[in-house]
Structure formats: C-alpha cells, structure tokens
Amino acid sequence: MEWQRRKPTMKVCPICGKNAGLSSSSLKLHLQKSHTKRLSSGSIDSAMTMEIQKALNHFEY
C-alpha cells in the first residue's frame, strides 16, 4: 500500500468561513481577535469544541 501525501487541512472559522490557519491555536486566536464583540470567552471555547468534533467526525469515515 502506498501512502498518499496530503496537504494539511486549513482550520476554517465557523462564524465567518475564513481560513484561520493550520492549528487549533491559530483558529482560537482568530476567534479572539476577529469576533470578540460577537463572542464571549465561553463561546470561543464552544466554537473550538465544534471544530474539534468536526475533525473527529471526518476521521471516523
């Protein structure tokens, strides 16, 4: 079996749909800087939880 090299997937902001970077930390930073008026700190954590759950669901299939 040959391994296929794939580019790492970009983290996409669940609010605005923009690419936020490759890591979860960069997504969290984007949420804090770009959406602070819309979100409280708890909402940022819930958005991160949504992103992590979406990634886990992607790997299950």
- Going residue by residue through the chain, which has 61 residues, state the pLDDT in tens, using 9 for 90 and above: 567 778 888 888 888 889 989 988 888 888 888 877 766 656 667 777 777 777 777 665 5
CA angle 30, 45, 43 (to 5 degrees): 85
Nearest Cα neighbor of 48 from 58, 56, 6 is 56
The rounded distance, in Å, linking the Cα atoms of 39 and 4 is 39
pTM of the model: 0.54
Count of H helices and E strands in the chain? 2, 2
Q: Provide the residue ranges of all domains of the chain, joining segments of one domain with +.
A: 20-60
Backbone angles phi, psi at 57, to 5 degrees: -65, -35
